[in-house]
Every structure is written in C-alpha cells, then in structure tokens.
Amino acid sequence: MTIFYRIRALVRWLFRRDEIERALDSDLADYIERSAAEKVRAGMTETEARRAARIELGGVEQTKDRVRETLSLGFVETFIADAGYALRTLRRQTTFTVVAVSTLALGLGVNVALFSLFQQLLQRPLPVMEPNRLVNLTDPGPKLVGQASTSSSASGGPDSVFSYPTFRDLERAQQPFVGLAAHRSFEANVVSGQNARLTTGILVSGNYFSVLGLRPALGRLLGPQDDRVDGVPILERSDRVPYVRLPYGGPRVRIRLPPAVSQVRTCLSREFAFLGREATVFRGVQAGTSGAVGRDTQGAATSG
C-alpha cells in the first residue's frame, strides 16, 4: 500500500510539479483569506487583517519553499530508508534471498543466451554485400517418385535441396536475379600431415563468391572460370600460396582450416589445394563454418 502511494507520489512529484504548485497556491491563499476574515471579526480593518495574516504565515514564498524542500528531501530520505530496510530484510531471510536471486539470475542468463543465439542465427545480417537482397530458393512443389530428393542433409530439407542439373537449368533460365549460386554442406576429415580432424565444408558453384560479393584476403576465390569441364588441373604459383585452378566442373569446396594453414590437405581421400581466404570471416549462408577456399585436385562427384 505504502509502496504504491510512494511510487504514485514520486511520479506526481516528478511530472506534476505544476499541480503541486497550484495546490500550494490555493492552500496558502485560502489560509490567508480565512485568517484575515477571523481577524476582521476580532475587530481589525480589512488591510490590517490581511497584512497580519501574511505575517502569521511567515511569508508565502518561505512557506512554499519549506514545502518544496520537505517534498524533495523526503524522497531521498524515504528512498534511502526503504532501500536499507529492503537490504536488511533480504539479509535476514537468507533462503528467500538465495532462491529469488538465483531465479532472477537464471532467468536473465537464459534470456540473454537465447537472445544472443537468436540474434546470431536470425537477426545479424550475413557479412556479404547487400545481404538484404539475398534470397533463399525453395521448391515446395510435388516431387515425382524416384526424382524426389529425399535428402534432409545439412544443406536443408527436401524442399530446399535442388539437384545439380536443376540448379544449372535454373541458373541458365532465371531472369529476376543478378546471380544464382548453389551450395551444399558436407562433413569430412581434413588431414594435415599426421593430424586428421572432422570438419565441415561447403560445395559451392563457381559464381558463389561473386554472387555474394566476397573478396579474397589471400590468394583467390573460386570463380566462374572454375566451372569449366575440360582439360587438366593446372597448378599455378602466386607469390605466397600455390593454388590450383581446375578446368573442369568438379565440386567446389570451402573448407574450414585448422589455425596453421598448410597448403595441401586431404579430404574424402582426395587432395585439395588451398586457393585463398575471404576478406571477412565468412561462415557461409548457413551458420556454422568459416575459413578458406580449396579445390579437389583430382576431380570428384558433383554437388547435389
């Protein structure tokens, strides 16, 4: 009850000072009026009575000041007293305090954790050029038996997985988009010297990086020229990193590399060459992976 009144009064004091001032004016004027009337009845003249009443009041402004002072000081004092009382009560009732504080802490912690996850996964724009113009295609239509993709891999459910030929057809026929790029996640062991580790890679189409507008920080990224299906793998040398430009339409692979980047790794029993690294730490359009760009040096299965 008191708490409710305190809060209401605080709000009133903070936001309705005018109202308090008007009340004060009305109260003091009324006091003078009545006091003067009393004095007139006792035999004073009107002016004398008014003057005496004002004097009795101890000065209108001084009285107002004392009221204002009481109201504003009172707040600080009551607040300090209330806070002290609350703290003492909390200290006395240890069990309640522990339960209440841990409940609050747990609740807040869970909320913060969930929100950060939500923000990471859904709210933060992808670190690509114009992420707001990026769309994900799905094909929710009916699937023919035998043709339907039943895969619900890391790349997504059946509706969001397109076959490689379908992707190429779509890419050729599409009008509304600046570009259409394909990607598919896979898991593989990456071997570097004696060490193997399970990691995630993404098979991508040649225009993946140009569609997303990513630039290499080191070496080069896969480009449309890597989509060709002729010739032999060419090993070229840049000043720092050897990279392979493969002239056929094999899978384009993005591999998350261990910290010490070595140039050639084995993946799915095939050799990959390190091509380059993106300028920003880009984790793919699906949350999860990051890192470097590589290619199968021997040619391999096409992506689905």
Partner 1 sequence: MTRQPKGPLEGKLNIPQGTLELLILTIVRREPLHGYGIAQRLKSLTQGTFEINPGSLFPALYAMERDGKLRCEERLSDNNRQARYYTLTASGRTQLEREERRWERVTAAIASVLQGA
- How far apart, in whole angstroms, are the C-alpha atoms of residue 54 and residue 52? 5
Beta strands 242-245 and 252-255 are unpaired
Q: Of 40, 57, 128, 264, which one interacts with partner 1 (CB under 8 A)? A: 57
Instruction: Count other Cβ atoms within 10 Å, centred on residue 113.
Output: 10
Q: Is 76 in the site for partner 1 (CB under 8 A)?
A: no
Q: Rank residues 33 and 169 by Cβ distance to partner 1 and give the closer one.
A: 33
Q: Rank residues 58 and 107 by Cβ distance to partner 1 and give the closer one.
A: 58
Q: Is 40 in the site for partner 1 (CB under 8 A)?
A: no
> Contact 250/302 with Cβ under 8 angstroms?
yes
Q: Of 6, 168, 228, 256, which one interacts with partner 1 (CB under 8 A)? A: 6
Q: Is 2 in the site for partner 1 (CB under 8 A)?
A: yes
Q: How far is the CB of 123 from partner 1 (least distance, A)?
A: 45
Q: Rank residues 77 and 187 by Cβ distance to partner 1 and give the closer one.
A: 77
Q: Is 46 in the site for partner 1 (CB under 8 A)?
A: no
Q: Contacts for 256-265 with beta carbons within 8 Å, 24 or more apart?
A: 256/190, 256/199, 256/200, 256/201, 256/289, 256/290, 256/291, 256/292, 257/190, 257/291, 257/292, 258/190, 258/192, 258/195, 258/197, 260/192, 261/292, 262/192, 262/193, 264/297, 265/190, 265/191, 265/192, 265/294
Q: Is 82 in the site for partner 1 (CB under 8 A)?
A: no
Note the residues at the interface with partner 1 (CB under 8 A): 1-2, 4-6, 8-9, 12-13, 20, 23-24, 26-28, 30-31, 33-35, 37-39, 42, 52, 55-58, 62-63, 66-67, 69-71, 74, 78
